[in-house]
Structure 1
Amino acid sequence: MIRTLLKEVKEYKAASIATPIFMILEVLFETLIPFLMASIIDKGVNTGDIHHIYKVGGIMIVAAFLGLLAGMAGGRYGAKASTGFAKNLRNAMFDRIQTYSFANIDHFSTAGLVTRLTTDVTNVQNSYQMMLRMMMRAPASMVCAMVMAFAINARLASIYLVAVLILGIILFFIIRHATAYFQQAFPKYDALNESVQENVSAIRVVKAYVREEEETSKFKRASKNIYDIFVKAEKNVIWNAPIMMFTVYTCIILISWFGAKMIVVDSLTTGELMSLLAYCMNILMSLMMLSMVFVMISMSMASMRRIAEVLDEKTDIHNPEHPVYEVADGSITFKNVDFSYKKDSAEKVLKDINLEIRSGETIGIIGGTGSAKTSLVNLISRLYDVTDGEILVGGKNVKEYDLEVLRNQVSVVLQKNVLFTGSILDNLRWGDKEATDEECIQACKLACADEFIERFPDKYNTHIEQGGNNVSGGQKQRLCIARALLKKPKILILDDSTSAVDTATDAKIRRAFREEIPDTTKLIIAQRVSSVQDADRIIVMDEGKIHGFGTHDELLASDEIYREVYESQTQGGGDFDENGGEA
């Protein structure tokens, strides 16, 4: 886990190395000051040697100034290293997510990935900065102060040794208990982010059903869970400061008591006593800083694990060693294909699928909710990989193709239509970033999108809001179809992509496809029989199997499911499912 994360330090290695070096230099200069102060008191103040006072005082000023410069440099490089490390972690996670297949994405929730990219990375950033600065500064300060204290008077310095051992044991138990709570806290942010995400993305539904109070209560519960865990953790951590201060004051009293007696018998000077008191604060405060570093690290351990999970997730779909870069045609063959979303699952979503689709054919796909229509077409562009069997496109196994080439030639208009913030042209050019305005307009004409675009004041420069909220469902579907057409694919898959379009426009789109792109293989998933009845052939899906495959007339004669649906829709206007569900 640590090795995975540290790989992302990259160009900030120099800053990461420079930070602890400057922190150690700061400690050395700070440690020197109490020693010089003792010399001023014993050899300057007590003897009245003003020259010695000026000389050593000047050295103290220089040491303080150099310590200040070292501390500033350490802070600067520490900030640069930690923020740069956080930037690289976010970039690495985002890049890795882009390589995920749908199966990989199914392992994580959207809210969980957002939390990892934000809250978890911030925790690791803070922890990394603390490690670079305090993880080096605190031990170095404690060791240096301890060495100087023993050099002055080993008997009195032994008080520090006992105090450090006792304090270390107490702090160990405090950190141990606090860590357990902190590890529970950060995963709770997923639930909090999920609550916010669902509420904001579905705010229209929330308001339509007057569910504001329920959503507020759900958010408050998620927030309260985080609050309760942090309170429990902090109840342990708050003991840190009072125990530390009690130890510090006890050491000061003991050193003052025994030191005063030693001064009386001339085995200790006044300056040395003052230096020992100063080193007392250095030693114990260093230990306190060290304990806070461990608390911070314990808080971020859960975040580190969650980030490493994203970075270590291996995509189960990748390019072959020698990929094919050209798709010959739009023919599709399924050979004994089985599929399940989880590889170790005994329940198969698709079972024994065998299909032969010729290039340029228009294939309708119809079936009830949960009949695996979407699962079937998702395998063609390798959004998922088959569990058993093989799929051929253009005569070659889809696993032999370069992924980018395959997905450019197999264009999918997904069931959930998504538009991005920007102009209509910006959204269309997701299909082809080099597409000219004329090509975009032609694609929109094929998808019957030009009809409504021309009515907008800004036409193709009309701004699309986030998620396409300022266009209707049917308009959104037609824009997504136009975007897919711009790829000029050999295979076009419409996954129930005209469900929000009126039947007249649906017929226009199908006629345009038939006339304008006859060589493109078209797979059309639909709930309405009217959307697929003029297709070359129609697949009837039922419970993950092909129940029927043929022309409209052949299926009316031979397939009872298709005949029943056709009759119900033509006579009663019913949908494929009695409840009107979508696949």
Structure 2
Amino acid sequence: MKLMLTYLKRYKGYVFLNFLCVFGFIIIELGLPTLLAMMIDDGVAQNDFGVVQKYGLWMIGIVAIGLLGLILLSYFGSKITTGIVRDMRDDMVEKVQEYSHAEFDKLGVPSLVTRTTNDAFQVMQFLQMFLRMGMMTPLMFISSLVMIVRTSPSLAWSVLIAVPILLLGVVVVGGKSEPLSDEQQKNLDSINLNLRENLTGLRVIRAFVNEKFQESRFNKVNTAYTNISKKLFKLMALAQPGFSIIFNLIFVAVIWFGAVQINAGDLQVGNLVAFVEYMFHALFSFMMFAGLFMMYPRAAISAGRIQEVLEQEPSIHEEDGVTETETHGYVEFENVTFAYPGNTEEPIIRDVSFKAAPGETVAFIGSTGSGKSTLIQLIPRFYDVSRGRVLVDGVDVRDYRLSALRKKIGFIPQKALLFTGTIAENIRYGKHDATKDELDTASEIAQASEFIQLKPEKFEEHLSEGGSNMSGGQKQRLSIARAVVKRPDVYIFDDSFSALDYQTDAKLRARLKRETGNSTVLIVAQRVGTIMDADKILVLNEGVVVAEGTHKELLKTSDVYYDIAASQLSKEELA
């Protein structure tokens, strides 16, 4: 509830107007039975049509005012709840942008999607009920009880006896629904995870003819969600008729004992009618409040999951630090050791040291799992080192303002990721104010100009989600153009040429060599042909640099490098 109250404070004005509408509605609702009783006793019983007409007009006026109050109540409630769920989602997205990779690994993308969508919706549904019923029902219930006791103390006992029984039922149902709601939301996370895997891996699933297997996996998590939902909904469904039975028994008791008192002359007909109306309002208010109370555990679980996202402190975050340096493009590793957060096994990187200066191309090669990609992810500080230091322009990356550090770096990831939008918008992701000439230059350097010009809309060609309407090579070239247009001090290519044919690869690297003469270029590669011309090659094996030198030097001095090269090059090229 703390999270919801925090957001409600942002809309204090609307909450106050909402309360006024609630208070006015209660006065009107309780005023109608009083006027009805006076109409019956003073008008109908006395055959005075004038009195009946007068009270009737008053009641019509009150009903009109009450209708206006209900409309305003719905308006203010909707205004508040839609604003709150918008703010929650904005805050979560903003917070997630601050996360380091460690926090993403901890919470998981499917869970973050569920929390931003479904959990926020659950909170909105509860707040809508709370603003309409949460304020109204307690006031209505208390006011109705006061009017019940005032109208007929002798009948009030039948209502007051039922209240503890109803309260006990509400508490029991609420207690049982909380763990069920928690499990339901976790199962929804599993559904999102499974569905995401199915959709993103559709080609692989079809290639291995595993559609039935995936359907079986999804059916398993979907059935688990269905079963827990059935338990929750059955619990809620059983509560409703249980409360209705108690209400009906109370009505029967009131009518029975009321009729006895009317027959004895101790109670007027109008007062009994008013009593029944007050009792209806009291019990109906209680039922609405009970429904709200039973909704609360589910909303509280969702609010807790949202709060976990908002309160999760990123291990790497933006803070004041170095923003400017005298030099540009120098990278140095000093005895760097790294293990993933929470990993109790051996470090991924151990005691790595090297230097790279502007104008140099430094390459990293090694077997799969040797730590190449992990190593270069320490430079833009996606993770922090466990021991040692990573220096950029002589400054420890941990001492930089994070945005200033990453502005120095053009990072091209191993998996080329494009965003929904035009080709121009994707390239400008590296530099938002890039001119048309800069787009042309960047695409020409990345060897993307040819296929862009063949597109009907050229730079305005629309890309599907993830760039799915582009080939792997085209996506890689656009990713490279996105980094080139930024003109960074340090280029990091994380196996970014793997989808290119050898000819395009050679052309692109030759053009990059001319363009990046004043920048430092770091390349992770699997193909020896991609890094043969590098000024320095570091050979990694199980997280350790086992050799360092040029291509020709390593062929003579490193068995690991020679084995990799021999598997890819001809005997003439190895000579």
Instruction: Give yes or no for TM over 0.5.
Output: yes
Q: Match of 1:578?
A: none
The one-character-per-residue Cα deviations of 1:428-448 (angstroms, maximum 9, x if unpaired) are: 111111111211111122222
* Unaligned ranges ≥5, structure 1: 575-583
Q: 1:186 aligns to what SS in structure 2?
A: helix
The one-character-per-residue Cα deviations of 1:408-431 (angstroms, maximum 9, x if unpaired) are: 211110011011222221211111
The structure-2 alpha-carbon separation of the partners of 1:106 and 1:147, relative to structure 1 and needing over 3 Å to count, comes to same
* 1:344 positional shift: 6.5
Counterparts of 1:479 and 1:572, CA distance in 2 = 35
Asked if residue 158 in structure 1 is aligned to residue 122 in structure 2, the reply is no
Q: Match of 2:494?
A: 495
Identity over the aligned pairs, expressed in percent?
Answer: 35
Q: Match of 1:103?
A: 102
- Mapping of 1:535-554 within 5 angstroms? 535-554=534-553
* 1:32 positional shift: 1.3
Counterparts of 2:298 and 2:213, CA distance in 1 = 32
Decide whether the 8 Å contact of 1:244 with 1:284 is kept in 2: no
Decide whether the 8 Å contact of 2:333 with 2:390 is kept in 1: yes
Q: Match of 1:317?
A: 316
Counterparts of 1:119 and 1:380, CA distance in 2 = 36
Q: 2:415 aligns to what SS in structure 1?
A: coil
Asked if residue 223 in structure 1 is aligned to residue 222 in structure 2, the reply is yes
Q: Residue type matched to 2:336 in 1?
A: V
Q: Residue type matched to 2:535 in 1?
A: D
Counterparts of 2:571 and 2:269, CA distance in 1 = 105
* 1:399 positional shift: 2.0
Decide whether the 8 Å contact of 1:540 with 1:546 is kept in 2: yes
Asked if residue 92 in structure 1 is aligned to residue 91 in structure 2, the reply is yes
Counterparts of 1:320 and 1:172, CA distance in 2 = 47
Q: Match of 2:388?
A: 389
The one-character-per-residue Cα deviations of 1:8-62 (angstroms, maximum 9, x if unpaired) are: 4465332233223312221121011112211111111112222322222222222
The one-character-per-residue Cα deviations of 1:44-102 (angstroms, maximum 9, x if unpaired) are: 11122223222222222222222222121111100110111001111111111111111
The one-character-per-residue Cα deviations of 1:197-232 (angstroms, maximum 9, x if unpaired) are: 222223333333333333333333332222211111
Asked if residue 191 in structure 1 is aligned to residue 190 in structure 2, the reply is yes
Q: Match of 1:357?
A: 356
Asked if residue 210 in structure 1 is aligned to residue 209 in structure 2, the reply is yes
Q: Residue type matched to 1:298 in 2?
A: P
Counterparts of 2:203 and 2:563, CA distance in 1 = 37
Q: Match of 2:261?
A: 262
Counterparts of 1:484 and 1:415, CA distance in 2 = 13
- Mapping of 1:317-356 within 5 angstroms? 317-326=316-325, 328-342=327-341, 345=344, 347-356=346-355
Counterparts of 2:187 and 2:572, CA distance in 1 = 47
The structure-2 alpha-carbon separation of the partners of 1:33 and 1:561, relative to structure 1 and needing over 3 Å to count, comes to same
- Mapping of 1:38-437 within 5 angstroms? 38-326=37-325, 328-342=327-341, 345=344, 347-437=346-436
The one-character-per-residue Cα deviations of 1:366-387 (angstroms, maximum 9, x if unpaired) are: 0111111111101111111212
The one-character-per-residue Cα deviations of 1:466-517 (angstroms, maximum 9, x if unpaired) are: 2112221112111111111111011001000001111222122221122222
Q: Identify the range of structure 1 (317-326 vs 472-481) with the bigger mean alpha-carbon deviation.
A: 317-326
Decide whether the 8 Å contact of 2:322 with 2:404 is kept in 1: no
Q: Identify the range of structure 1 (4-13 vs 104-113) with the bigger mean alpha-carbon deviation.
A: 4-13
* 1:530 positional shift: 1.5
Decide whether the 8 Å contact of 1:392 with 1:398 is kept in 2: yes
Counterparts of 1:220 and 1:183, CA distance in 2 = 20
The one-character-per-residue Cα deviations of 1:314-367 (angstroms, maximum 9, x if unpaired) are: 122123434323472111111222212215745322111222222221001001
Counterparts of 1:457 and 1:239, CA distance in 2 = 62
C-alpha RMSD of the superposition: 2.0
The structure-2 alpha-carbon separation of the partners of 1:157 and 1:334, relative to structure 1 and needing over 3 Å to count, comes to same
Q: Match of 1:468?
A: 467
Q: Identify the range of structure 1 (459-468 vs 362-371) with the bigger mean alpha-carbon deviation.
A: 459-468
Counterparts of 2:3 and 2:270, CA distance in 1 = 51
The one-character-per-residue Cα deviations of 1:204-261 (angstroms, maximum 9, x if unpaired) are: 3333333333333333333222221111112221222222221122112211222122
The structure-2 alpha-carbon separation of the partners of 1:8 and 1:341, relative to structure 1 and needing over 3 Å to count, comes to farther
TM-score by length of structure 1 reads: 0.94
The structure-2 alpha-carbon separation of the partners of 1:455 and 1:170, relative to structure 1 and needing over 3 Å to count, comes to closer
Q: Residue type matched to 2:320 in 1?
A: E
Counterparts of 1:16 and 1:373, CA distance in 2 = 56
Q: 1:364 aligns to what SS in structure 2?
A: strand
* 1:539 positional shift: 0.7
Decide whether the 8 Å contact of 2:320 with 2:400 is kept in 1: no
Counterparts of 1:261 and 1:47, CA distance in 2 = 22
- Mapping of 1:432-471 within 5 angstroms? 432-471=431-470
Q: Identify the range of structure 1 (92-101 vs 62-71) with the bigger mean alpha-carbon deviation.
A: 62-71
Decide whether the 8 Å contact of 2:178 with 2:298 is kept in 1: yes
Counterparts of 2:6 and 2:322, CA distance in 1 = 29
Decide whether the 8 Å contact of 1:343 with 1:387 is kept in 2: no
The structure-2 alpha-carbon separation of the partners of 1:459 and 1:274, relative to structure 1 and needing over 3 Å to count, comes to closer
Counterparts of 1:454 and 1:448, CA distance in 2 = 11
Counterparts of 1:51 and 1:5, CA distance in 2 = 52
Asked if residue 531 in structure 1 is aligned to residue 530 in structure 2, the reply is yes
Q: 2:335 aligns to what SS in structure 1?
A: strand
Counterparts of 1:180 and 1:465, CA distance in 2 = 41
